[in-house]
Amino acid sequence: MNLGDFSFGNLGHAYLPDKWIFRNYGGEVSRGQILSLLGPNGSGKTTLLKILLGALKPTEGTVKVNGQVAFVPQLFQVAFDYTALDMVLMGRAKNIGLFSQPTKEDEEASLRALEQVGLAEMAHRPFHEMSGGQRQLIIFARALVAEADILILDEPTSALDLKNQNAILEWIDRLARQKNLTVIFSTHHPHHAYAVADRALLMLGESNYAAGAVNDVLTESNLSKLYELPFRRVCYEYKSQSVETLIPVLRPTKTALASAESY
Amino acid sequence: MFLKKYIAYTLQYSQRRQWLVALILTFVLLATIVLSICIGPYPMSIWKAGSILANLSLPWSLPVDLPWPIRELTVIQVIRLPRVLLATLVGLGLGMSGAALQGLMRNPLVGPDLVGVSSGSAMGGVLAIMLDWPPLAVVFLAFVGGLLSLGATFRLAQLAKSSDGIGLILAGIFVGGFCLSCVGLGFFLANDAQLNAITFWLLGTMTKATQATVWLVAIPTLGGGAILMLLRWRLNLLSLGNDDAFAIGVKVSSLRFAIIVVVSLIVAAQVSVAGIIGWVGLVVPHWARMLVGPDHRKMFPASALLGALFVLFVDNFTRVVLRSDVPTGVLTTIIGTPFICFMFWKKQTKGWVGD
Amino acid sequence: MTELSKKFAQRINNFTSQIRLRLSQSQWTNPGPLAVILFLCVLASLFYGSYPVTASRTLGILINLLLPSGWLDSSALDLKEIAVITIIRPPRILVAVFSGVALGMSGTALQGMMRNPLVGPDLVGVSSGAAFGSVLGFWLGLFEKPVIILAMASIGGCCALLLTMALAKMVGGKSDGLPLILAGFFVGAFFLACVGLLLYVNNPFYPRGQRTYNIIYWLLGMFRGADSAKALVVTLTTLIGGVVLMGLRWRINLLSLGDLDAKSLGIDVSWLRWLLIITVSFMVAGQVSVSGVVAWVGLIIPHCARMLVGPDHRRLMPTSALLGGLFVLGLDNFTRTVIKGEIPVGVLSGFIGTPLICFLFWKTKTKGWNES
């Protein structure tokens, strides 16, 4: 097993005896690859992420990790008005002893990480004053400064506008391809997974899942089953390249209905 | 078997049950009052106590040749009757004002002491005592203090933009803390001899019971209670929330103001005579709600009677069992807080603390 | 809310954030000046009191004490004055300063640990529990054994804190936000009532005649009767606990992010939290066992410190400690010299603290205090 490899098998969790949220789940992702988790609300995505992270002990099954894991939580409110640098510095926790304080080197490493995400000039600004996208990037920097091999992100694109969603996806891609990090992220948008992920895991039901390469798993039929919506594969041309994606067919809009009635 | 069926039958008909509960509670309360007069360090038989009571409550003067020793008459007339009546009235007032405040603020976690009325009244009362004012003026200043602190609590919660959830409770805690500091400060600025009184305001006791103080509490409590009793159905409307109540056509602000004034008056009278009796106004409405449901028409009288019973029981316990002057407020807190913790735990899912 | 008050709130918001910005970029970020000020205040407190000793004579006595004997002629000094300067005033000043330091530090630690800027040792029940523990100790007749009293106070405080946290957890799932404050309020009230009960149950150590004094002492906090034994207790507990908290101060930053996030950063959250709970209970127990429940200090001092140096606990912790010491010393000096009576320190701190916290509550309404 290489550094940065990640696999899990036979995974099952029940908060109450015999009330399984999911069972017999399995999957793997290797160094430099991106795995995306898809599932409807309440399917146990966060529970699965917590287990993969090691913050929650699974009721059954094993998680095999080789390397340091860092976590990027969903956009969150911090109780206190820390600066961006304070936030990034917290990523060094593993390297700092119980009763010691961060040193100059730690601060420099944090500044470098902030520079990498392009927010160096914001280092001393309060975290509260930043936009959602900037906060997400700062949490990215925190994961970078932890020198982790595996990055787990919980719905990184939720609560962001389209421009920032795109920026975050680009960052995920860059971290995996350039930094050679293993990335696992959960999302509600199949096209996000389609855009960047190599592998995908669909949480279809209690012990029913689909895992594998994106092209095999993210099919129209699988997604339709997952979200109970029709999905269509769409091809379009961008910068003279043919791009493929999946879009959900949402319920007809008012204008569509109106035009239908006029016929 | 019959009894069981009968109870089940009555439970089905809430209209009957409402009167039944009120009736039973009234009877229990009256019986408890009579019993409380019999017991104590100088016990006497229920008949003797009953006949003395009956003679005392009759309008004409006592017979010339007393059928009982003068000592027993004194024990009842001067010592026990005022204290028992005071405890009853205090409980009655707290039960009512707690129910009214909870309905008014749509928050089952408030009570007169949590929103700062009690502390504010104590502050006003202390000020009046420092100025050597007569008892009636003490009640008046206590009333003003209570009203002011309640207003401050509301205003602060409004400023913090959550006037019925967390903000109200926090504001109440802060305002109450400030008023209690004023109580402490006032007494220390007044003179050292009055030091004793600070404990009385802080912990609440019934030891100040005399005929005069009973009247002082009785008039505002019964008068204000009558007004609240008449408004009790309106509390249902208020507890819907401002917008809904307005939509139905209730004049929210004037009704709310009227209830606040009456509650402040009741609490002021109670505090200026007995100090802060903690947690009664918070806990008792929950018992009433468990017994007869959330409808204020039924819950309100039940809350009043249960409050009276509770305070009377606790006061009897200190008077008869402990035979010391343990403050009543201490005991009500010791009983009240675990219960409210339990309720807090059980009711959480029903949006108690929702903003 | 009217347009006018909105504007007013906006203006105050801007004003305070400007203050913070200006202060946080200035020399205040360094605790050095504060430490010097505190030291000077302690020295100055030696000079003032109800027993009149002129400044020059005090200075003379101090110089005489500091220099080896025989350098100056000590026969001119008044024995009474020496006693006041060396025996009567120092314990009281020490008790005041270290009580303040303990409260400021434990308040900061609690607020960080619980991710809630509205808690303090008195509001989460630690102080009440510690008061119950020590009163129970006295009640059982363990007057002469300060270590046992301290242990009982620590256990009482710890139990109260755990009860509060357990109740909040049972109620809310996550143990921060409003459920925590309410649970703390309930638990604290319960333990204070228990203190009242113990003080009223007849006992040779709590005779009726001293009941009022005892109640005021325990429930409102007083520095009267501070002697060298008390000073020793509170100095030791504060120093020990203070060293631990200073060591852990950056970890509190991590803890304040929340459990999952802190765990994902690779720290042992539950162990760290236990350590903090025990340390805080110990410190607060030391303070309460010598001066009763002093309310509000632990709540407002961290806020003031945060205004000075910002939220980073690395700077916040020492600043809170120094500010707490300064604040309580100032209050005590005020009663000692200006009023010349014994206003309980809890009364004074409430008098200053509650308007301040009301103001802050109003000012920071939008910043996630209301759990949303």
What Cα–Cα distance (Å) separates residue B355 from each residue in A261, B153, B167, C176?
44, 16, 8, 15
Nearest alpha carbon to residue B220 among B253, B166, B263, B156: B263
pLDDT of residue C101: 97
Domain extent at residue A37: 6-227
More confident residue, A81 or B127: B127
Residue C132 has pLDDT above 60, yes or no: yes
Q: Are C42 and B196 in contact (CB under 8 A)?
A: no
Both structure tokens of A14:
């029940």
Residue A232 domain-assigned (yes or no):
no
Sheet of A60-65, strands arranged across: A20-29, A6-14, A60-65
Q: From the candidates B155, B161, B341, which should be mutated to test the interface with C, based on the most C CB atoms within 10 A?
A: B341
Q: State which of B236-240, C38-42, C243-247 shows the largest mean pLDDT.
A: C243-247
Q: Evaluate whether chains B and C are touching (3 or more beta carbon pairs less than 8 Å apart).
A: yes
User: Which CATH number characterizes residue A167's domain?
Assistant: 3.40.50.300
Residue B117 exposure: Cα atoms within 13 Å on the Cβ side:
30
Cα C37 to chain center, whole Å?
18
pLDDT of residue A147: 84
Q: Where residue C251 falls among pLDDT bands split at 50, 70, 90?
A: very high
Residue C371 has pLDDT above 50, yes or no: no
Q: State which of A62-66, A227-231, B88-92 shows the largest mean pLDDT.
A: B88-92
Q: Where residue B192 falls among pLDDT bands split at 50, 70, 90?
A: low
Which segment of A226-230, C202-206, C216-220 scores lowest on mean pLDDT? C202-206
Q: State which of A53-62, B259-268, C167-176 shows the largest mean pLDDT.
A: B259-268
Cβ separation C256–A80 shorter than 8 A:
yes
- Report the C-alpha gap between B291 and B298 in whole angstroms: 10
Residue A105 domain-assigned (yes or no):
yes
**pLDDT, averaged across chain C:** 83
Q: From the candidates B113, B114, B159, B342, which should be mutated to test the interface with C, based on the most C CB atoms within 10 A?
A: B159
pLDDT in tens, A11-36: 888 888 888 888 888 888 888 899 99
Out of A50, A80, A91, the one facing C265 most closely (by C-beta) is A91
Q: Are A163 and A169 in contact (CB under 8 A)?
A: no
Token pair 């929330």 is at which residue?
A: B241
Which segment of B148-152, B330-334, C78-82 scores lowest on mean pLDDT? C78-82
- Report the C-alpha gap between C199 and B180 in whole angstroms: 20
The secondary structure of chain A as a DSSP string is: --TT-EEEEEEEEESSTT-EEEEEEEEEE-TT-EEEEE--TTSSHHHHHHHHHTSS--SEEEEEE-S-EEEEPSS---SS--BHHHHHHGGGGGGS-TT----HHHHHHHHHHHHHTT-GGGTTSBGGGS-HHHHHHHHHHHHHHTT-SEEEESSTTTT--HHHHHHHHHHHHHHHHTS--EEEEEES-HHHHHHH-SEEEEEEETTEEEEEEHHHHS-HHHHHHHHTS-EEEEEEEETTEEEEEEEE-PPPPHHHHHHHHH-
**pLDDT, averaged across chain A:** 84
pLDDT of residue B204: 84
pLDDT in tens, C58-67: 777 777 777 7
Token pair 């010791």 is at which residue?
A: B334
Residue C249 has pLDDT above 80, yes or no: yes
More confident residue, B41 or C127: C127
pLDDT in tens, B325-349: 788 888 999 999 888 888 877 764 4
Residue B314 to chain C, least CA–CA distance (Å): 13
Q: Which whole number is the average pLDDT over C339-363?
A: 83
Q: Where are the domains of chain C?
A: 91-363
Q: How many CB atoms lie within 10 A of CB A177?
A: 13
More confident residue, C48 or C256: C256
- Partners of B206 on chain C (C-beta within 8 Å) are none
pLDDT of residue B167: 76
Dihedrals phi, psi of B275, to nearest 5 degrees: 75, -170
- Partners of C296 on chain B (C-beta within 8 Å) are 177
- Domain B90-98+107-347 indexed as CATH 1.10.357.10: no
Kind plus residue range of the DSSP H or E element containing B256:
helix B252-274
- Report the C-alpha gap between C151 and B74 in whole angstroms: 50
Q: In chain C, pLDDT over 90 holds for what percent of residues?
A: 40
- Report the C-alpha gap between C112 and C119 in whole angstroms: 9
pLDDT of residue C100: 96
Cβ separation C193–B167 shorter than 8 A:
no
pLDDT of residue B18: 66
Locate the chain A residue with the closest alpha carbon to C254.
A90
Nearest alpha carbon to residue B94 among B110, B80, B106: B110
Q: Where are the domains of chain B?
A: 90-98+107-347
Residue A72 domain-assigned (yes or no):
yes
More confident residue, B242 or C174: B242
- Report the C-alpha gap between C65 and C56 in whole angstroms: 14
- Partners of A54 on chain C (C-beta within 8 Å) are 263
pLDDT in tens, A153-176: 988 888 788 888 898 899 899 888
Residue C256 exposure: Cα atoms within 13 Å on the Cβ side:
27
Residue B264 has pLDDT above 70, yes or no: yes
More confident residue, C78 or C254: C254
Residue B24 touches partner C, C-beta closer than 8 Å:
no
Q: Which whole number is the average pLDDT over B59-85?
A: 78
- Partners of B329 on chain C (C-beta within 8 Å) are 193, 196
Q: Where residue C364 falls among pLDDT bands split at 50, 70, 90?
A: low
What's at B279, amino acid-wise? Answer: W
pLDDT of residue A258: 58
pLDDT of residue B352: 47
What is the Cα Rg of chain A in Å?
A: 20
Nearest alpha carbon to residue B205 among B318, B307, B284, B98: B318
Q: In chain B, pLDDT over 70 holds for what percent of residues?
A: 82
pLDDT of residue C1: 35
Dihedrals phi, psi of B149, to nearest 5 degrees: -70, -35
Residue C369 to chain B, least CA–CA distance (Å): 9
pLDDT of residue A47: 86
What's at C320, amino acid-wise? Answer: S
pLDDT of residue B7: 47
B122-125: long-range contacts, CB 8 A cutoff, minimum separation 24: B122/B179, B122/B180, B122/B183, B122/B201, B122/B202, B122/B271, B122/B275, B122/B276, B123/B149, B123/B179, B123/B180, B123/B182, B123/B183, B123/B186, B124/B148, B124/B268, B125/B201, B125/B268, B125/B271, B125/B272
3-state secondary structure of C203: strand
pLDDT of residue B15: 56
Residue B275 touches partner C, C-beta closer than 8 Å:
no
Q: Where residue C331 falls among pLDDT bands split at 50, 70, 90?
A: very high
Both structure tokens of A202:
């669909």
Q: Given 3.40.50.300, 3.30.565.10, 1.10.1740.10, 1.10.3470.10, which CATH number is that of C91-363? A: 1.10.3470.10
pLDDT in tens, B125-135: 888 887 878 88
Q: Where residue C72 falls among pLDDT bands split at 50, 70, 90?
A: low
Residue A236 domain-assigned (yes or no):
no
Residue C96 to chain B, least CA–CA distance (Å): 19
Cβ separation B338–C190 shorter than 8 A:
yes
Residue A257 domain-assigned (yes or no):
no
- Report the C-alpha gap between A30 and B286 in whole angstroms: 58
More confident residue, C46 or B16: C46
Cβ separation B334–C194 shorter than 8 A:
yes
- Partners of C256 on chain A (C-beta within 8 Å) are 78-80
pTM of the model as a whole: 0.85
What Cα–Cα distance (Å) separates residue B314 from each residue in B46, B86, B199, B336, B353?
21, 13, 18, 11, 30
- Partners of B345 on chain C (C-beta within 8 Å) are 167, 170-171
Q: Where residue A2 falls among pLDDT bands split at 50, 70, 90?
A: confident
Which segment of B1-10, C189-198, C353-362 scores lowest on mean pLDDT? B1-10
Q: Are A21 and A13 in contact (CB under 8 A)?
A: yes
Residue A98 has pLDDT above 90, yes or no: no
Q: From the candidates A80, A86, A107, A127, which should be mutated to test the interface with C, based on the most C CB atoms within 10 A?
A: A80
Kind plus residue range of the DSSP H or E element containing C8:
helix C3-24
Cα A241 to chain center, whole Å?
27
- Partners of A81 on chain C (C-beta within 8 Å) are 310-311, 367
Nearest alpha carbon to residue B39 among B325, B312, B349: B312
**Number of CB pairs, chain A paired with chain C, less than 8 A apart:** 80
Per the structure, the count of domains in chain A is 1
Interface of A to C at Cβ within 8 Å reads 50, 53-55, 68-71, 73, 76-83, 86, 90-91, 93-94, 96, 98-102, 128, 146, 152
Kind plus residue range of the DSSP H or E element containing C156:
helix C146-172
3-state secondary structure of C206: strand
- Report the C-alpha gap between A156 and A103 in whole angstroms: 30
Q: Which whole number is the average pLDDT over B79-100?
A: 93
Nearest 5 degrees, angle CA C47-CA C50-CA C52?
60
Cβ separation C182–B353 shorter than 8 A:
yes
Token pair 């000046």 is at which residue?
A: C33
Q: Which whole number is the average pLDDT over C99-117?
A: 93
Q: Which whole number is the average pLDDT over C310-322?
A: 91
- Report the C-alpha gap between C353 and C331 in whole angstroms: 12
**pLDDT, averaged across chain B:** 82
Residue A95 to chain C, least CA–CA distance (Å): 9
- Taking each helix axis as running N to C, give the angle between helix B135-159 and helix B166-190, from 0 to 180 degrees, rounded to the nearest 10: 140
